[in-house]
Structure 1
Amino acid sequence: MQAKRPGNRKIIDVSHHQGEIDWAAVQADGVHGAFIKVSEGIGVTDAKFAANAAGAKKAGLTVGFYHYAHPERSEAVAEATFFASVVRAGQAPDFPHVLDVEGAAGVIGADKLTAWCIAWLEEVERLTGHPTMIYTGASFAKTYLGKPLAAWPLWVAHYGVEQPMANATWSAWSVFQFTSNGHIKGISGDVDINAMEQAFFDAYAARTAPHPANQANNVKIIVNGKLAAYGRLIEGRVYLPLRQLGDALGVPVEWKAAEATPYVAGRIVTNFKLIDGVTYLGVRSAAELLDGKATWDNETKKVYFSLAPFATNA
């Protein structure tokens, strides 16, 4: 697991515990994004979800939603269905939907909990058409969350350290919650503060230009005349984030956790790269896979992607 570094983006996570939030003041204090609690278990909606989602979006922050799980009480599909039903009433998030798994969830044991998490993640992706990820504590991840979950990005909590504890499932984190006692203008009392990897931020905040110091992410992917994502230059080849390409083209993208392999419209994806928890595919490979066309403009460093009609596999 890597240590946090100055180039990471500052992200907070909030719930009703933070009370009324002045989101404009939060944004002015250097916060780039926020994860907002949506729900817990079955039947519990966070009282500030709607207000926080609207306020954070209005302030121009990049936003994600999370669900606090109770695997010791409920079935995964039931909790996923409830979460999805609440999210539909809120504003669309930017970051992946988050499964918050910790605490009493461990009583069902590592194998059952790993399977429970996979079921929730896959069902939420199916119901919402939006990617998912996992939040947990560093020690909890090491003890209870098995290798099949490596297919999803990790948001890990470990306080008072620069580098979170390692585990056997993930080699790197996408988001690192390093304190629960942070202070941000616009919020009364303590708030969790997180470091987010720049590449992860860029992948889900396409409206935000890449950090000037990170030119590897400076390839714009243009789909139907609109900026859909930022690609990466790796060893002279352009790679694009698979999930964002699928979203822009209206093509379903899914992970089959048992195989640790992504599929696009039912077609298996090979030669992909996992970078900071994001799946990247070479532009040429993506075009061949989708029966599409990709054009590289060397002067503007843009890739123009178009898709021809094709039959999806069952």
Structure 2
Amino acid sequence: MQARSAGNVKVIDVSHHQGAIDWAKVKADGVVGAMVKATEGGGSYVDPTFAANAAGAVKAGLPVGYYHYARPELNSAAQEAAHFADKVKGMKADFPHALDVEGKASRLGGAALTAWCVAWLKAVEQLTSHPVMIYTGASFAKSYLGKSLEQWPLWVAHYEVDQPMDNNTWSAWAIFQYSSEEKVDGIKGNVDMNAMEKAFYDKYVHPVVVPAIPKPTGIDTIKVVVNDKLAAYGRMIDGHVYLPLRLLGDALGVDVEWRAAEASPYVGGKIVPYYKLIDGKTYIGVRVAAEMLGGKASWDNGTKKVYLYK
């Protein structure tokens, strides 16, 4: 797990414990986002300040996300997912919806708790059509949360350290809650403080606008699916599939450039070793695409599609 750095941005998480908040003062104090408690358990509990905090943060111009405190020792994942999804319906949400799992949830044991979390995350994704993530303590993650959760971003808590404890499921965090006793203008008493990776922040607050996909020509007929979305069309050359480099870079959020002095394309500052320049466009093979763009690639001969995941 990485240590927090000067490049991280400052985000708070709040609930009724913070009381009434002056969100304009919070923003003026350098906070750039907020995670707001929405619900708990599977019954009727909604945090008393949920609506006020959500509205106040949005009015102040802060990006927001919402979290649910899980009680898996009492309720099913489906019940709690439905409760949360119902309460955040129609609310402006920038960051992924977060599942807060800690405390008595450990009574289920690692395998059962991991399965419960997977079920909640998938259900909320389906019910809200919005990204999700998981919050937990560093020690709790190491003890109870299994590998099937690694596909979702981690928001981890570990106080009084600059680098949270490692675990066997996640290699990196998206948000790091490093203190529960910070002072912020506009809030009386203590508040949780988080470091958020700037790339994660930008992904949801300043998303990259992917250009429209050019219509396929008579040659570019192979569909290229990036993270489950059609991103480009490739072509078959001498029995091998080649893909348009710049469109792949745009879809995956990777910098692609052509350096005229060297007459070569670069990806993330590294020269592309093998490519074909056709009609002013750079094409690369499937294997090179996976290696250079940091993803996994597969070819479906039946559907004539290339799949890339990152």
**TM-score normalised by L of structure 2:** 0.70
Unaligned runs of 5+ in 2: 214-249, 257-264, 269-288, 298-304
- C-alpha change, 1:289 and 1:64, in structure 2 (3 Å) is farther
Instruction: Supply the AA of the counterpart residue of 1:233.
Output: D
Contact in 1 for aligned 2:267/2:292 (Cα 8 Å): no
Q: Which residue of 1 aligns with 2:120?
A: 120
Q: Give the whole-Å Cα distance in 1 for the aligned partners of 2:62 and 2:111.
A: 37
Kindly indicate whether residue 65 of structure 2 is the aligned counterpart of residue 35 of structure 1. Answer: no
Q: Give the whole-Å Cα distance in 2 for the aligned partners of 1:272 and 1:231.
A: 15
- C-alpha change, 1:133 and 1:34, in structure 2 (3 Å) is same
Q: How does 1:1-314 map to 2 (within 5 A)?
A: 1-42=1-42, 43-89=44-90, 91-206=91-206, 220-222=209-211, 231-233=253-255, 236-237=266-267, 271=290
Q: Give the whole-Å Cα distance in 2 for the aligned partners of 1:178 and 1:78.
A: 31
Q: Give the whole-Å Cα distance in 2 for the aligned partners of 1:72 and 1:60.
A: 37
Contact in 2 for aligned 1:206/1:230 (Cα 8 Å): no
Deviations 1:156-177 (A, max 9, x none): 0000000000000000000000
Contact in 1 for aligned 2:9/2:32 (Cα 8 Å): yes
- C-alpha change, 1:129 and 1:13, in structure 2 (3 Å) is same
Q: CA RMSD in A?
A: 2.7
Q: Give the whole-Å Cα distance in 2 for the aligned partners of 1:132 and 1:272.
A: 27
Deviations 1:191-221 (A, max 9, x none): 00000001000001027xxxxxxxxxxx653
Contact in 1 for aligned 2:35/2:64 (Cα 8 Å): yes
- C-alpha change, 1:77 and 1:236, in structure 2 (3 Å) is farther
Instruction: Supply the AA of the counterpart residue of 1:231.
Output: G
- C-alpha change, 1:143 and 1:52, in structure 2 (3 Å) is same
- C-alpha change, 1:86 and 1:193, in structure 2 (3 Å) is same
- C-alpha change, 1:44 and 1:274, in structure 2 (3 Å) is farther
Unaligned runs of 5+ in 1: 208-218, 239-269, 283-287, 291-314
Contact in 2 for aligned 1:184/1:191 (Cα 8 Å): yes
**TM-score normalised by L of structure 1:** 0.70
Q: Give the whole-Å Cα distance in 1 for the aligned partners of 2:52 and 2:65.
A: 14
Q: Give the whole-Å Cα distance in 2 for the aligned partners of 1:95 and 1:131.
A: 8
- How far the C-alpha of 1:230 sits from its partner, in A, is 9.2
* Paired residues, number: 235
Q: Give the whole-Å Cα distance in 2 for the aligned partners of 1:230 and 1:117.
A: 27
- How far the C-alpha of 1:233 sits from its partner, in A, is 1.3
- C-alpha change, 1:41 and 1:198, in structure 2 (3 Å) is same
Q: Give the whole-Å Cα distance in 1 for the aligned partners of 2:177 and 2:306.
A: 37
Contact in 1 for aligned 2:267/2:293 (Cα 8 Å): no
The 3-state SS of whatever aligns with 1:127 is helix
Q: Give the whole-Å Cα distance in 1 for the aligned partners of 2:179 and 2:124.
A: 28
Contact in 1 for aligned 2:97/2:132 (Cα 8 Å): yes
Deviations 1:80-103 (A, max 9, x none): 0000000015x2200000000000
- How far the C-alpha of 1:273 sits from its partner, in A, is 9.9
The 3-state SS of whatever aligns with 1:204 is helix
After the TM superposition, which segments of 4 or more aligned residues of structure 1 sit over 6 Å from their partners?
272-275
